[in-house]
Chain A
Amino acid sequence: MTDGQSAGSPVPTGDAERAEPVWVKSERQLRREAELRARGRRSVSVATASTIVVMVALVAGITSSPGWPRVQELFFSPQAFVDALPDVLRGFLLNIKIFLIAEVFILVVGLLVALVRGLRSPVFFPLRALAVLYTDVFRGIPTILLIYLVGFGIPALQLQGTPSDPVTLGIIALVLSYGAYVAEVFRAGIESVHPSQRAAARSLALSHGQTMRHVVLPQAVRRVAPPLLNDFVSLQKDSALVSVLGPLEALRQAQIHVASSFNYTPYLVAALLFIGLTVPLARFTDHLATRIARRQTGGGTA
């Protein structure tokens, strides 16, 4: 090695650097990024300002209305809030129980009905017709009406072994109503799986059932997860409809407090509890939907 080369000049690595382009941000790119940052700051301040203006206008508008002192006393009484909270919260636990149990049965009923509607064999014609009839009828009846019909109709039959507990009857009514919706969601998911997937499965000699079980359903269920969760957000609040049959759930407890105190704040308590439960689930649904959308645009095979 000669003196000239020993001066620390890394000859081989220098070659490698010349072969690989190295990125140093250009003046133009730096200016561009500075401009984008400035714009970002500007839009944040505009959004903040407009939010404050709207909020102030809303609050001022409501509180300056002639009836506001009366409304504040009737709906926003801290004392009534604290008094009602324990009972309403206890009732709310029953709502959670109702919708958790109903959810499981709804998924089973919905999936079964959707699968039955997809059966081709003539042997299953009566089942298929029943499934169509079921979705048609129960999607058409308002949920609250269905709860009345089931809640007062089934016990009136006086049959051996039929439930008479209002909670059970309420759950049955919710399952019947939501099962019809969820069946349609599942059916849409099953039909959204490309026919080429079925062709591939059938060409491998998988039977209709195996094709459904291993190829179609796993893809369908992933696709319908967001709309299903959306239906469950809706089910959570509809669990309050069971109150018409008398069980002491959140809305019923609130009604009792309202009736004894002539103050409507307990309703606000119940409303806040429902919001507290549905908001996280709604956010989770959004999150799941974006994740699925990202996966699908990330490259899928038909």
Chain B
Amino acid sequence: MSLLTIEGVWKHYHGLSVLRGIDLEVAPHEVVCLIGASGSGKSTLLRCVNLLETIDDGAIHLDGVEITDVRADADDVRRRIGMVFQAYNLFPHMTVLDNITLAPRKVHGVRPEEAEARARELLDRFGLADKAGEYPDRLSGGQQQRVAVIRAVATDPRLLLLDEVTSALDPTLVTEVLGVIRELKETGMTMILATHEMGFARDIADTVCFLEGGVLLESGPPEQIFSAPEHPRTRAFLQRVLEARRM
């Protein structure tokens, strides 16, 4: 059974259709990469899954239960989904450790010592052990984003959503964040990534989905999408990406 099912999801902003009937299934331990130009609806789709946006039609099921039911408890849904944002969105008034342990302590009822031990273990694993007591603005962008990923996985979510997590980073810092994501894949984390890093998507994704104008035009294994895309729009998009890289 799939972990997440998105069926016929529509979303409008001010009369503009941002998502136009999106269908997508995500199996447990699967890594799905959403690619497409800015404004194609990737981020909006992730925000809809996390109920940060309400959808205008269709349904989203998590573990076989509809989470877009208006009677569903949004907090309960979010307890099972982690999210990492493009601009990190760490809490600037809290130390790295407090950023990570806030949700486990306040939402999941984990005892403070346990939450701290788990946070330190994660920081250690991702090479940030010495940053536990620092405030976010003392860290580099790459370090901040790694902390944000740790914060999102510290509550052991069923599903992790990553919204263009390397777009705000300079190229030398991108690899360290991608390394963390690669390691999460090895632990079997189910993930949906909106990304502009085509090389990384090809490398890590089980399924790549190409979105354009709010429509999921094509999806399939990375070899197929990147080497033999069926849809002419996908080909055109990949061609543009390739040209941009050659500049």
Which residues 210-228 in A have Cβ within 8 Å of B in the complex?
Answer: 210, 214-215, 218-219, 222
Instruction: Give chain B residues whose Cβ lies under 8 Å from the Cβ of A2.
Output: none
Q: Please tell me the number of chain A residues within 8 Å of chain B, measured between CB atoms.
A: 22
Q: Given A203-B50, A204-B151: A301 and B89 within 8 A (CB)?
A: yes
B79 interface hit (Cβ, 8 Å):
yes
Indicate if the CB atoms of A200 and B75 lie closer than 8 Å: no
Indicate if the CB atoms of A207 and B75 lie closer than 8 Å: yes
Q: How far is the CA of A199 from the CA of B78 in the complex (A)?
A: 11
B193 interface hit (Cβ, 8 Å):
no
Which residues 136-166 in B have Cβ within 8 Å of A in the complex?
Answer: 136-137, 144, 151-152, 155
Indicate if the CB atoms of A206 and B92 lie closer than 8 Å: no
Indicate if the CB atoms of B91 and A215 lie closer than 8 Å: yes
Chain A residue at minimal CB-CB distance from B136:
A301
A202 interface hit (Cβ, 8 Å):
yes
A276 interface hit (Cβ, 8 Å):
no
Indicate if the CB atoms of B93 and A219 lie closer than 8 Å: yes
Stretch at the interface among B58-66, B102-110, B119-127, B196-204: B102-110
Q: Given A199-B85, A203-B50, A222-B93: A214 and B136 within 8 A (CB)?
A: no
Indicate if the CB atoms of B93 and A196 lie closer than 8 Å: no
Indicate if the CB atoms of B92 and A300 lie closer than 8 Å: yes
Instruction: Give chain B residues whose Cβ lies under 8 Å from the Cβ of A218.
Output: 93
* Total contacts A-B at CB 8 Å: 71
Q: Given A196-B85, A204-B102, A204-B155: A301 and B92 within 8 A (CB)?
A: yes
Partner of A300, one of B52, B78, B137: B137
In this complex, which of B82, B91, B103 has the most chain A Cβ atoms within 10 angstroms of its Cβ?
A: B91
Chain A residue at minimal CB-CB distance from B138:
A299
A298 interface hit (Cβ, 8 Å):
yes
Which residues 166-208 in A have Cβ within 8 Å of B in the complex?
Answer: 196-197, 199-207
Chain A residue at minimal CB-CB distance from B89:
A200
Indicate if the CB atoms of A214 and B89 lie closer than 8 Å: no
Chain A residue at minimal CB-CB distance from B105:
A214
Minimum CB–CB distance for A296 against chain B, Å: 9
Partner of A206, one of B88, B89, B106, B144: B106
Minimum CB–CB distance for A181 against chain B, Å: 25
In this complex, which of A199, A202, A204, A222 has the most chain B Cβ atoms within 10 angstroms of its Cβ?
A: A204
B180 interface hit (Cβ, 8 Å):
no
Q: Given A301-B90, A301-B92: A203 and B107 within 8 A (CB)?
A: no
Minimum CB–CB distance for A159 against chain B, Å: 43
Indicate if the CB atoms of A197 and B102 lie closer than 8 Å: no
A302 interface hit (Cβ, 8 Å):
yes
Instruction: Give chain A residues whose Cβ lies under 8 Å from the Cβ of B82.
Output: 203-204
Q: How far is the CA of A167 from the CA of B89 in the complex (A)?
A: 48
Q: How far is the CA of A42 from the CA of B52 in the complex (A)?
A: 61
In this complex, which of A210, A300, A301 has the most chain B Cβ atoms within 10 angstroms of its Cβ?
A: A301
Contact flags B74-88 to A (C-beta < 8 A → 1, else 0):
111011011101011
Q: How far is the CA of A210 from the CA of B76 in the complex (A)?
A: 14
Q: How far is the CA of A189 from the CA of B129 in the complex (A)?
A: 34
Q: How far is the CA of A222 from the CA of B91 in the complex (A)?
A: 14
Indicate if the CB atoms of B52 and A301 lie closer than 8 Å: no
The 6 residue pairs across chains A and B that have the minimum distance between CB atoms: A200-B89, A204-B103, A205-B78, A203-B83, A205-B79, A299-B137
Q: Chain A: residues with CB nearer than 8 A to chain B?
A: 196-197, 199-207, 210, 214-215, 218-219, 222, 298-302
Q: A203-B152, A205-B76, A206-B102 are in contact. List 18 more A-B contacts (CB 8 A).
A: A196-B85, A197-B91, A199-B85, A200-B83, A200-B85, A200-B89, A203-B83, A203-B85, A204-B82, A204-B107, A206-B106, A206-B107, A210-B106, A210-B107, A219-B93, A301-B90, A301-B144, A302-B87
Q: Chain B: residues with CB nearer than 8 A to chain A?
A: 50, 52, 74-76, 78-79, 81-83, 85, 87-93, 102-103, 106-107, 136-137, 144, 151-152, 155
